[in-house]
Structure formats: structure tokens, C-alpha cells
């Protein structure tokens, strides 16, 4: 049927536009006009070529075919893991030289800025899944160093589920959507995951981290990062030192509550992506310190566990973390697909002076990432994509051709050695024995075996260390998370096996989880090695370490018509002076008419801006405005959720009926704003943890 806006066919052979003159934008300058992919300028981008104005479309229309065909192929396979990600450009600046340990320029040239591209991700969900499931976060940094790219492809948790790469496909199959039903998406709370975990006691330490608040982060700007695997640094004399890499966020490590994370998923599925983008867009550049733990072979040998085992961490109380640089992310990508989607991280991208260890998890990763890019990006030439190309140094060799070859190499010689350079021809690049990449000379001791070393056998001491190092609040959250996840498992034997394993971590924890499930504690499972008590590491906590400002956080001020503008201004000024972003939320997006008649424009409408999206809230209402909100569930939810999610609530006296209806009970985090807007800041900077037992039955 003809589009109603399309002028009736006149019989004249003049082009007909669908949208009419107003939206039919034209250009005649060559650099402004639309073309096909091969450069032919278009005269009409509104209509396909048809047999008559109301007739069938012609196969001849190569312009339509090219456009539709390109569109049909716009998607590439998403990453098998870490599919959902967000990224940014920035720089790394070295503040302390590691020249004693490495010859890598990126770690020896103090003050030099190296460009980086950093991609954060969830692990289990697909590319279109939400940002806030309980999940590990990927933290992958590509440093464009002057000696080639260095990719530090890490996570926000310093250990991993498994010890050997051969178990990775099993782990990922178990956590992803179940094979027959295709759900749940982006969730570990289901039978196959916990079945696998129960049968793989080596995962227990990682499970302690996964059940902690670290896996429900407040912001990607507020996560730590870890290289996880052990690497080596090699100095000028090729002497090797073990190294563990750490990223520490300037804004501190901060988390949400589980119920809050669940509700954010509905309110804003792009919560973390938006937060990162908007922070950078408004000049609030996220920053991290890079720290290293350095260990000689003798120091590694003295550890009561194997430094090659990625299920173990080295407590920083035992080997301190030395800060050697900082990373700042200061530019959003120009194009999500070209950069964030097409970036290819490879743990094998190592500049001279940084080398791998024999960690069997890392060894498998050395193959996997290169391999996966071939199916994801489709060609061995993926390194030629702008986001993957080395910068500030040439990349050249005698590899040739392949699909989508973008380069035009010159010369006759495509082999090495060759002697054509001497004949005046281009002979190509040559190896550099001194400055090139060299592998650490590590003696190979044994014959070929397919077995797990005895030194990897202890699966519980570190899980115990992590649990016992936490504050009581964090321990309660872990126990509660375990109860939640296991309650989603329909097979009783799956739950029972986890309980049996937990007894090796901590009897109290196992009992709490059993009580939370209303199950009996089963006999303890037999550990491969007897768990040891290690000295607790308070460095592993989050609670009690929130920074003493609102830097990077957000405050909502809920207003109604007739609200007192002076109070709004005072709260806004105090919160902004403390570093927060302030948003005005009103029942209508047009804003609220304040006492005195002035219109205060709103940043968000109440129903679409629930309190889960903010770190603290202030209720500046008029008596009438409050009376109306008593009949609006979005308003009661706004207040009730702020309360149960342990947020500071500032209020004017007129808001009391709403506080009462929402079940808010006065405590240190509920602040009458007549005491002054500043009184609202201290509870807003943290979470009033003491409130939690009053609002949640914790395990
Ligand atoms: Fe990955 N991992 N991984 N992984 N991983 C991938 O590579 C793999 C592991 C990590 O933002 C894939 O390009 C194996 C540990 C991040 O693009 C794939 C093993 C750590 C990212 C792959 C591991 C990570 C990936 C999928 C066990 C923390 C996202 C797409 C031996 C140190 C990078 C891709 C980005 C991505 C394989 C274990 C971190 C399939 C085989 C341990 C941050 O190659």
C-alpha cells in the first residue's frame, strides 16, 4: 500500500520522496554526499527502484541490495564469554621504574604516558544482557607501548574457578544458560553451575569471592582489577622475577546490595555502561593505581602454596603491593562496534621484558584468545583493525595475504632470510637479538605427564582465609548469597554437596547456609589436602573502606510542587561540593513549581528514576505534594527501597507521612534537613550498615 505521505503518482518521471521535502536532506559537495561503498554518489536514499511508482522492486537496484546486504551482516559472533562490555580510551603513566626487574619500556620510563584502551565486562551474559547480575567483571587493558601492545587481560577478582585450562569449557558451559532450555541468562543461580562447582572443590576459593559483594559492584569505576595469573618480569640480564598485577580504583571499591542490583537491572539495564560513559563525558575521569607484587624464585618457593596455581592469592600483608603507575580513562569510544566490540585482547601480547609463567590456566589462555578472534572477527588480519593496531611503533613482518588484507606491502621478498636488500631491493625487516622479545630460560624438569601437581591439592585454606578476613557484615552477605543461589537449585543433592564442601571452609558458614536452606548439614566432604588456618588479611575487605567523600557518587533530590527551593539549593550545594552528581526527580518531567512560583526543571520523572539508581536521596516536599505522593507507589517504593538498600535519606518535615507509609524507622542515616544539609553528607558517604538487620533476615 502506498505510504499516506507519498504524493499520488502523477505519471511524470520525477523522483518521489517518502518523507516530503522537509526531511529530504540533500548535498552536492563531494565530501558531503552519500555514496555506495564503492563511491558512487546517490541521488535518492528514500526510495527503492520499482517497476512503476506502486510496482514491485527491481533486482537491478544495486543500491538497495548493497545497503540491505551490509545491514544483514552487521553482527559478528559475540564473545563466548565476556560478551557484554563497555570500554574507554585513556593513558597509563609510570610513576616508579621497575628497571631492576624488567627491560619493558612501559614499566621503566617514569613519567611517560602510554595510550590504553580498557574494556570492562560481565562474564556469563550475552551482549544484550543487563549490567548488574551477580558476576565476575572482566578488566582488560590494552597498552599501546612503544615496543608493541601489552594486553593485561584480568578480572575484578584475583583468583579463578579452575586450575587448568582444560576445565574452562566445562566451567563456561555450566554457568551459561542450561543446554536444553536456554535459560537462565546471566545468572549463576541454577543447577548446572552449582553441580559443577560442587564437583570441583578447587573452585571454592573463587566461590567465596563470587558470593561476596565484589560481584555486585556499584560502578565499573569502583572495581579493583587483577592480572590473576602469575607473570614474569625479565631484566637486561634476563633475570626473572615473578609478578602479580593489581589495579586499585581511586574512588574505592564500592558495591550495591543484592536486592538493589536486581532492581537496577529492571530500572536501567545499562546502568554500568551509562555510568562509565557519563562520568567520562562530564570530565569525571576514572582512575586506577597499578600495583605489583614482586617475588623471587626463593620467595615463591617459600610460600605455603604454589605461585602457579590461579586459585590462590598472595596476601598483601605477606608481600606488599608496590604502586608503580596510574591509569586514567578520559575518552569515550567514537564507535561502539569499531572499538569496544572489535577490540581483541590477547594475553600473548607481551612487550620484551614481560613474560608468562607456567601457570596451566595461563598456558591455555595463550592459545585460546588468538583462536577465538579468528571465529569472532573472521580473519587472521584482525590485528590490522584500527583498535588493535600497535601505535607508536611499526608492526612489520613477512606474513602476507589472508582475508581482508588491508596493507599493501612493497618489494619482491616475502621470506626471510633474503639478500635482496643488498641488491637495492626492499629486503624486509630483520630480527633484533638484543632488543627483541626473549623467553625466560626456565629449566624443564620432568617428562611428559597429564596430572595435577601435588602442590595444587589444597582447595580450602584460601577460601577459609578469604571468609575469615571479612567483616561480620560481609560474612553475612556471603552466607545470604549462598542461600539465595542454592535456593534456586532444584536438585537437593547439588545443594547437599556444596554444604559438605563448605564445612571444610568454615563450620559456622556451612551451618548458616544449611539453616537458611532449612537443610541438615551433611558429613564433611573429604578434602584432597587438610585445610590450614592462615593469618587473616584485612586488606581483603570492602566494608569500612568507602572513601570519605561523595566523589563519583550520585544524589537524588525528590521534589514536588510547593517544595522549599532554599532547601533544594542547600542540599545540592553540599552534595556537589562533596563531589556528587545531583539529579532533581519530580512527579512530572517538566519540573516542579517551587514555593514562590519558580519552576525547577527535573532531570528525571519519578516512575522512571527509582532510588536504586542513586547513592543517597533527599525528600524536599510540600505538604500537598507529599499528600499526593501517598497514592503513588513509585514514591513509596522510592523511599522504602532507599531505606532497605541502606542509603542515607534526608527529609523535610512535610515528607514525614511518606516516610511513615514507606516504613522508614528513624536511625543515623535518616536525616532531618532542618539540621542543615551538611548533616546529610556523612551517612551518604557510607551505607548505614547497622540498619541492615532491621530490614533483612540475613543468613
Ligand atoms: Fe578469558 N577468555 N579465558 N579469562 N577473558 C576470553 O577471549 C579463556 C580467564 C578474560 O574484554 C575469550 O576475546 C580461557 C581468566 C577477559 O574482550 C576467550 C580461560 C581471566 C576477557 C577466553 C580463561 C580471564 C576474556 C572470549 C581459562 C582473568 C574479555 C572472547 C584458561 C585473568 C576480554 C575473547 C575483552 C575473554 C578464554 C580464563 C579474563 C574464549 C581458555 C583466568 C577480561 O578466548
Which string of DSSP letters, residue by residue, matches 190-221? SHHHHHHHHH-GGGHHHHHHHTSGGGSBS-GG
Q: Do domains 85-384 and 554-695 have the same CATH topology?
A: no
* Closest alpha carbon to 365 in 220, 133, 168, 83: 168
CATH fold of 461-540 reads Hemocyanin, N-terminal domain (1.20.1370)
Percentage above 70 pLDDT, the chain = 97
The predicted pLDDT at position 566 comes to 97
Whether the CB-CB separation of 93 and 326 falls below 8 Å is answered with yes
Orientation angle between helical segments 633-644 and 258-267, nearest 10 degrees: 150
How is domain 85-384 classified at the architecture level of CATH? Beta Barrel (2.40)
The predicted pLDDT at position 21 comes to 54
229 is catalytic: no
The predicted pLDDT at position 446 comes to 87
Half-sphere exposure (CA, 13 Å, Cβ side) for 226?
22
Whether the per-residue pLDDT at 24 is higher than 80: the answer is: no
Tell me the average pLDDT across 246-254. Answer: 98
The predicted pLDDT at position 426 comes to 87
Tell me the average pLDDT across 510-529. Answer: 98
The predicted pLDDT at position 30 comes to 87
pLDDT tens sequence across 264-289: 999 999 999 999 999 999 999 999 99
Whether the per-residue pLDDT at 670 is higher than 70: the answer is: yes
82 is catalytic: yes
The predicted pLDDT at position 212 comes to 98
Tell me the average pLDDT across 67-85. Answer: 97
Any ligand 1 atom below 6 A from CB of 365? yes
How is domain 554-695 classified at the architecture level of CATH? 3-Layer(aba) Sandwich (3.40)
Q: Which atom of ligand 1 is nearest to the CA of 82?
A: 29
Domain spans, the chain: 1-45+59-74, 85-384, 461-540, 554-695
Any ligand 1 atom below 6 A from CB of 121? yes
Tell me the average pLDDT across 342-367. Answer: 98
Distance between CA atoms of 126 and 216, rounded to whole angstroms? 17
Whether the per-residue pLDDT at 114 is higher than 50: the answer is: yes
Q: How far is the CA of 372 from the centre of ligand 1 (A)?
A: 10
pLDDT tens sequence across 625-664: 999 999 999 999 999 999 999 999 999 999 999 999 999 9
The predicted pLDDT at position 87 comes to 99
**Residues 3, 45, 70, 155: which is the catalytic one?**
155
Any ligand 1 atom below 6 A from CB of 368? yes
- List for the chain the helix, strand, coil content (%; round to 5): 35, 15, 50
Whether the per-residue pLDDT at 16 is higher than 50: the answer is: no
Tell me the average pLDDT across 305-333. Answer: 98
pLDDT band at 22 (very low <50, low <70, confident <90, very high): low
pLDDT band at 422 (very low <50, low <70, confident <90, very high): confident
Whether the per-residue pLDDT at 63 is higher than 60: the answer is: yes
The predicted pLDDT at position 6 comes to 41
Long-range Cβ contacts of 15-19 (<8 Å, 24+ apart): 15/43, 15/44, 15/47, 16/47, 16/53, 17/44, 17/46, 17/47, 18/46, 18/47, 19/46
Half-sphere exposure (CA, 13 Å, Cβ side) for 495?
23
pLDDT band at 12 (very low <50, low <70, confident <90, very high): very low
Residue 697, C-beta contacts closer than 8 angstroms, at least 6 positions apart: none
Whether the per-residue pLDDT at 18 is higher than 80: the answer is: no
Cβ neighbours of 655 (radius 10 Å): 29
Any ligand 1 atom below 6 A from CB of 370? no
The predicted pLDDT at position 1 comes to 35
Any ligand 1 atom below 6 A from CB of 168? yes
The predicted pLDDT at position 572 comes to 98
Distance between CA atoms of 399 and 220, rounded to whole angstroms? 38
Kindly give the residue spans of alpha helices, DSSP state H, lying in 308-460: 360-377
Whether the per-residue pLDDT at 385 is higher than 60: the answer is: yes
Whether the per-residue pLDDT at 346 is higher than 80: the answer is: yes
* Closest alpha carbon to 325 in 91, 89, 90, 93: 93
Tell me the average pLDDT across 616-620. Answer: 98
Q: Which atom of ligand 1 is nearest to the CA of 168?
A: 27
* Closest alpha carbon to 128 in 75, 171, 174: 75
Q: How far is the CA of 552 from the centre of ligand 1 (A)?
A: 29
Query: Which of 77, 81, 151, 349 for mutating ligand 1's site (highest number of atoms within 8 Å of CB)?
Result: 81
Q: Which atom of ligand 1 is nearest to the CA of 80?
A: 26
* Full-model pTM: 0.95
Whether the per-residue pLDDT at 3 is higher than 50: the answer is: no
Whether the per-residue pLDDT at 75 is higher than 70: the answer is: yes
pLDDT band at 15 (very low <50, low <70, confident <90, very high): very low
Amino acid at each position: 500500500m502506498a505510504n499516506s505521505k507519498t504524493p499520488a503518482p502523477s505519471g511524470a518521471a520525477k523522483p518521489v520522496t517518502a518523507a516530503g521535502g522537509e526531511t529530504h536532506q540533500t548535498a552536492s559537495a563531494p565530501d558531503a554526499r552519500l555514496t555506495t561503498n564503492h563511491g558512487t554518489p546517490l541521488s535518492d536514499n528514500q526510495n527503492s527502484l520499482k517497476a512503476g511508482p506502486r510496482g514491485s522492486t527491481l533486482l537491478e537496484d544495486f543500491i538497495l541490495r548493497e545497503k540491505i546486504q551490509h545491514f544483514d551482516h552487521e553482527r559478528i559472533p559475540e564473545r563466548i564469554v565476556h560478551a557484554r562490555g563497555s570500554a574507554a580510551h585513556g593513558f597509563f603513566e609510570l610513576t616508579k621504574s621497575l628497571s631492576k626487574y624488567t627491560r619493558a619500556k612501559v614499566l621503566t620510563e617514569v613519567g611517560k604516558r602510554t595510550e590504553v584502551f580498557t574494556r570492562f565486562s560481565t562474564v556469563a551474559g550475552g551482549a544484550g544482557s543487563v549490567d548488574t547480575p551477580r558476576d565476575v567483571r572482566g578488566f582488560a587493558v590494552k597498552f599501546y607501548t612503544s615496543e608493541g601492545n601489552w594486553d593485561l587481560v584480568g578480572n575484578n577478582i584475583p583468583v579463578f574457578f579452575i586450575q587448568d585450562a582444560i576445565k574452562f569449557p566445562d566451567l563456561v558451559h555450566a554457568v551459561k544458560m542450561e543446554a536444553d532450555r536456554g535459560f537462565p541468562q546471566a545468572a549463576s543461580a541454577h543447577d548446572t553451575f552449582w553441580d559443577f562447582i560442587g564437583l570441583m572443590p578447587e573452585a571454592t576459593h573463587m566461590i567465596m569471592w563470587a558470593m561476596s559483594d565484589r560481584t555486585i559492584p556499584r560502578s565499573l569505576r569502583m572495581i579493583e582489577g587483577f592480572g590473576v595469573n602469575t607473570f614474569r618480569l625479565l631484566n637486561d640480564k634476563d633475570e626473572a622475577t615473578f609478578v602479580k598485577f593489581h589495579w586499585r580504583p581511586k574512588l574505592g571499591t564500592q558495591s550495591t546490595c543484592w536486592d538493589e542490583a536486581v532492581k537496577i537491572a529492571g530500572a536501567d539495564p545499562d546502568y554500568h555502561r551509562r555510568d562509565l560513559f557519563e562520568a567520562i563525558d562530564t570530565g569525571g575521569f576514572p582512575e586506577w593505581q597499578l600495583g605489583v607484587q614482586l617475588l623471587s624464585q626463593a620467595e615463591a618457593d617459600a610460600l605455603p602454596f604454589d605461585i602457579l596455581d590461579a586459585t590462590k592469592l598472595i596476601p598483601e600483608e605477606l608481600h606488599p603491593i608496590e604502586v608503580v603507575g596510574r591509569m586514567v580513562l578520559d575518552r569515550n569510544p567514537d564507535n561502539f562496534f569499531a572499538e569496544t566490540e572489535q577490540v581483541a585482547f590477547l594475553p600473548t601480547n607481551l612487550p620484551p621484558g614481560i613474560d608468562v609463567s607456567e601457570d596451566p590456566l595461563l598456558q591455555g589462555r595463550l592459545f585460546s584468545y588468538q583462536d577465538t578472534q579468528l571465529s569472532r572477527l573472521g580473519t587472521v588480519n584482525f590485528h590490522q583493525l584500527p583498535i588493535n593496531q600497535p601505535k607508536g611503533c611499526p608492526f612489520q613482518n613477512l606474513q602476507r595475504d589472508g582475508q581482508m588484507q588491508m596493507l599493501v606491502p612493497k618489494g619482491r621478498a616475502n621470506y626471510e632470510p633474503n639478500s635482496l636488500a643488498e641488491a637495492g631491493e626492499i629486503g624486509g625487516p630483520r630480527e633484533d637479538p638484543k632488543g627483541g622479545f626473549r623467553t625466560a630460560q626456565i629449566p624443564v624438569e620432568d617428562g611428559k605427564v597429564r596430572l595435577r601437581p601435588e602442590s595444587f591439592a589444597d582447595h580450602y585454606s584460601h577460601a577459609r582465609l578469604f571468609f575469615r578476613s571479612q567483616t561480620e557484615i560481609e560474612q553475612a552477605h556471603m552466607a545470604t548469597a549462598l542461600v539465595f543461589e542454592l535456593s534456586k537449585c532444584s536438585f537437593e543433592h547439588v545443594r547437599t554437596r556444596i554444604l559438605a564442601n563448605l564445612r571444610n571452609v568454615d563450620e559456622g558458614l556451612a551451618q548458616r547456609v544449611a539453616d537458611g536452606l532449612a537443610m541438615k548439614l551433611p558429613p564433611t566432604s573429604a578434602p584432597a589436602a587438610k585445610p590450614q588456618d592462615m593469618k587473616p588479611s584485612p586488606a581483603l575487605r570492602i566494608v569500612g573502606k568507602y572513601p570519605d567523600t561523595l566523589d563519583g557518587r550520585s544524589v537524588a533530590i525528590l521534589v514536588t510542587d510547593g517544595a522549599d527551593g532554599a532547601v533544594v539549593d542547600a542540599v545540592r550545594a553540599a552534595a556537589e561540593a562533596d563531589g556528587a552528581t545531583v539529579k532533581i526527580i519530580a512527579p512530572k518531567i517538566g519540573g516542579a513549581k517551587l514555593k514562590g512560583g519558580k519552576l525547577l526543571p527535573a532531570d528525571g520523572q519519578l516512575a522512571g528514576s527509582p532510588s536504586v539508581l542513586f547513592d543517597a536521596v533527599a525528600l524536599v516536599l510540600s505538604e500537598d505534594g507529599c499528600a499526593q505522593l501517598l497514592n503513588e507507589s513509585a514514591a513509596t517504593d522510592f523511599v522504602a527501597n532507599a531505606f532497605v538498600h541502606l542509603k542515607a535519606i534526608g527529609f523535610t518535615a512535610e515528607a514525614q507521612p511518606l516516610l511513615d507509609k514507606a516504613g522508614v524507622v528513624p536511625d543515623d542515616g535518616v536525616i532531618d534537613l532542618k539540621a542543615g544539609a551538611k548533616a546529610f553528607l556523612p551517612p551518604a558517604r557510607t551505607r548505614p550498615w547497622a540498619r541492615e538487620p532491621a530490614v533483612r533476615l540475613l543468613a
